[in-house]
């Protein structure tokens, strides 16, 4: 186990720069998730950490050692690939023991470590099978087993769950998190799925277009997104955004589309008339007499909660209620955002305005 320092790392393919100076400190034993839409550079960063891509500038260190010019096999890291990259001509046991075999470990040693990893991952009955004879979830576990057997400094995961069906994905998510709690190995995990990021991470790094938008614990990002991108990316259903202006005449309010008045707890200093974006999470709406008038468009019950799509001032928003309201499309209701939980962003830069 060790810490990982990524300092001002840049990556160019030819003249095209895909990472514009990324700095991510990772503590020993931390589970860090790199998340972002496709093309944001998260996989490239992971591959640079693994040594599969060169580093154009900046430094990456594992422990106290700068690894920019260290061969992948000397970095003491293990990686789980999106397509698992299991060796099709080797049994599960041989797949898992391959790295030890290359390091000339004795047969007993290999056997012992493969068995131990197989027990951790419940693979013991499958050790003599070939990858072809395994289900998707089993292959996924073998890929992790191959990483565990090596007992590396750092685990790298490159979208490991994206080839699984929805149900299995949830199960494996828990399994990976449990595994990390047990082994406490520093882990860097890449995904485009914000729910995976939220549920698994100690620290989330949100990336977008080759830069880090924000990093922090899942709840920090959820409760206090630095900018509109992070606010919209984290959370499902996504945060509602309404464009309008800040009004300060005695009481701070927000004037939304078509003059709809929305509550604000405080307004930033000297911001009367300032164009801004008002952000409110779906679960922070309540039905209240002093709320903004809204017309219900679609009601989607999921059992545990109900998602209500409605129009405020002509703009569609989504609200989530745990209570079972009897709404019908066309009904007029009054939706009130909780003023202490709303977010305000600069319209031009997307930066957070309220504290």
Partner 1 sequence: MADVAIPRAKPQMSEDNAWTQLKHNRNWLGFWFMVPAMAFLIFFLAYPLGLGIWLSFTDTRIGRVGHFVATENYEWLWDDSIFWLSVFNTLLYTFIASALKFAIGLYLALLLNENMPFKAMLRAMVLIPFIVPTVLSALAFWWIFDSQFSIISWSLKHLGVINQNINFLGDTTWARICVIFANIWRGVPFVAITLLAGLQTVSPSLYEAATLDGATRWQNFRFITYPLLTPIIAVVMTFSVLFTFTDFQLIWAMTRGGPVNATHLMATLSYQRAIIAGQLGEGAAISSAMIPFLLAAIMVSWFGLQRRKWQQGENND
Question: Closest CB to partner 1 among 51 and 235?
Answer: 51
* Residues 234, 240, 245: CA angle, nearest 5 degrees: 125
**Rg, Å, the chain Cα set:** 24
Residues that bind partner 1 (CB under 8 A): 50-52, 72-73, 77-79, 81-83, 85, 87-90, 98-99, 102-103, 130-133, 146, 150
Task: Determine how many CB atoms are found less than 10 A away from the CB of residue 240.
Answer: 24
Cβ proximity of 87 and 94 under 8 Å = yes
* Minimum distance, C-beta of residue 304 to partner 1, in the bound complex (Å): 36
Name 65's bridge partners. 62
Phi-psi region of 311 (alpha: psi -120 to 50; beta: other; left: phi over 0): beta
Nearest approach in angstroms of CB 59 to partner 1 is 20
Minimum distance, C-beta of residue 98 to partner 1, in the bound complex (Å): 5
Shortest reach from residue 143's CB to partner 1, in Å: 9
CA distance 86 to 128: 14
> Cβ closer to partner 1: 142 or 176?
142
Nearer to partner 1, 50 or 197 (CB): 50
Q: Which is nearer to partner 1, 88 or 330 (CB)?
A: 88
Which of helix, strand or coil describes residue 315? strand
- CB nearer to partner 1: give 60 or 212: 60
- Residue 35 main-chain phi, psi, to 5 deg: -130, 150
> Residues 6 or more apart from 311 whose CB is under 8 A from it?
294, 295, 297, 317
Nearer to partner 1, 111 or 307 (CB): 111
Least distance in angstroms from the C-beta of 7 to partner 1? 23
Q: Which two tokens stand for residue 259?
A: 């003059």
Whole-number minimum distance, CB 346 to partner 1, in Å?
42
């Amino acid at each position: 186990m060790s810490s990982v320092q990524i300092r001002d790392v840049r990556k160019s393919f030819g003249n095209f720069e895909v990472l514009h100076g990324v700095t991510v400190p990772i503590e020993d034993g931390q589970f860090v998730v790199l998340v972002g839409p496709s093309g944001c550079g998260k996989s490239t960063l992971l591959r640079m950490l693994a040594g599969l891509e060169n580093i154009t500038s900046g430094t990456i260190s594992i422990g106290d050692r700068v690894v920019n010019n260290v061969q992948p096999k000397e970095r003491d890291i293990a990686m789980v690939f999106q397509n698992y990259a299991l060796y099709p001509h080797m049994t599960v046991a041989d797949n898992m023991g391959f790295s030890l075999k290359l390091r000339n470990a004795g047969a007993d040693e290999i056997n012992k470590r493969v068995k131990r990893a197989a027990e951790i991952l419940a693979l013991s009955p499958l050790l003599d099978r070939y990858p072809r004879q395994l289900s998707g979830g089993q292959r996924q576990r073998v890929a992790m087993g191959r990483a565990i057997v090596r007992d590396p400094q750092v685990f790298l995961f490159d979208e490991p769950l994206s080839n699984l069906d929805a149900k299995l994905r949830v199960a494996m998510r828990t399994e990976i998190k449990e595994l990390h709690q047990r082994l406490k190995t520093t882990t860097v995990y890449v995904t485009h799925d914000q729910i995976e990021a939220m549920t698994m991470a100690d620290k989330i790094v949100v990336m977008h277009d080759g830069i880090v938008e924000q990093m922090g614990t899942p709840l920090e990002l959820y409760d206090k997104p630095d900018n509109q991108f992070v606010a919209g990316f984290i959370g499902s259903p996504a945060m509602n955004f309404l464009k309008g202006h800040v009004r300060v005449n005695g009481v701070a309010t927000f004037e939304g589309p078509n003059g709809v008045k929305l509550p604000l707890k405080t307004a930033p200093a000297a911001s009367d008339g300032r164009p801004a974006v008002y952000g409110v999470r779906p679960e922070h709406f309540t039905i209240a007499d002093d709320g903004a008038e809204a017309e219900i468009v679609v009601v989607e019950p999921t059992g545990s909660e109900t998602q209500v799509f409605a129009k405020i001032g002509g703009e569609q928003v989504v609200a989530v209620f745990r209570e079972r309201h009897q709404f019908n499309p066309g009904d007029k209701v009054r939706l009130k955002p909780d003023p202490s939980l709303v977010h305000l962003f600069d319209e031009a830069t997307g930066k957070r305005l309220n504290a």
